[in-house]
A and B are shown apart, each in its own frame.
Chain A
Amino acid sequence: TQLLEQSPQFLSIQEGENLTVYCNSSSVFSSLQWYRQEPGEGPVLLVTVVTGGEVKKLKRLTFQFGDARKDSSLHITAAQPGDTGLYLCAGVVTSGSRLTFGEGTQLTVNP
């Protein structure tokens, strides 16, 4: 059983469209991170959220941490081909413990 359920696993959209990626769990997380990874490279940290209900924005990306700290979402507005990549959510249940990864969302934005 996957501790962090990430959906969708694959997403192919046209340039200019909006999209949302979800990360859900029955467990409470002390913090949750979102990463973006391109082929042949390591994951790059986008954001860390730690407070229930927290919303963080990074240009066209909006990250939300659920009030109960069990879920998170990533919303991209007006997607561009440069947004193409593997998006990974990862959470820490207890501070100091290991990261638990979601299965990843492979996003393709077509020009």
Chain B
Amino acid sequence: GAVVSQHPSWVICKSGTSVKIECRSLDFQATTMFWYRQFPKQSLMLMATSNEGSKATYEQGVEKDKFLINHASLTLSTLTVTSAHPEDSSFYICSARGSAGYTDTQYFGPGTRLTVL
């Protein structure tokens, strides 16, 4: 149980285009989902927190107009990187917290590798 999926697992796009990443909790309801960014050999950096049906809360320094987050249902959240540039290339990971396990435990997706040319 407590499986979180992400799609796509990797994506290559041209500079200036937008990319959408999906995060789904497969066997539990996720009241809260989180989006992280990770650079090689570093820990995870929280970008934003989203609760189902409400606007996402962004961390300081994260542009909300560039990284659009939609938490449309208790099992789906999406991150759209708008007008992507090479510096947006990174490993993006989502996590979900909700009705699985301990209240505060987060379950992570497998990540999405974004490469912007």
Binding site for B on A (CB under 8 A): 30-31, 33, 35, 40-45, 48, 50, 86, 88, 90, 92, 95-96, 98-99, 101-104, 106
A sample of 14 inter-chain contacts (CB < 8 A) reads: A31-B102, A35-B108, A40-B91, A41-B110, A42-B95, A42-B109, A42-B110, A43-B108, A48-B101, A95-B103, A96-B104, A98-B49, A99-B104, A104-B42
* A101 (CB) vs chain B CBs: closest residue: B43
**A31 and B111 in contact, given A43-B44, A104-B43 (Cβ under 8 angstroms):** no
**A31 and B43 in contact, given A41-B110, A41-B111 (Cβ under 8 angstroms):** no
Binding site for A on B (CB under 8 A): 2, 4, 6, 34, 41-44, 46, 49, 91, 93, 95, 101-111, 113
Whole-angstrom distance between the Cβ of B103 and the nearest chain A Cβ:
6
Contacting pair B113 A48 (CB below 8 A): no
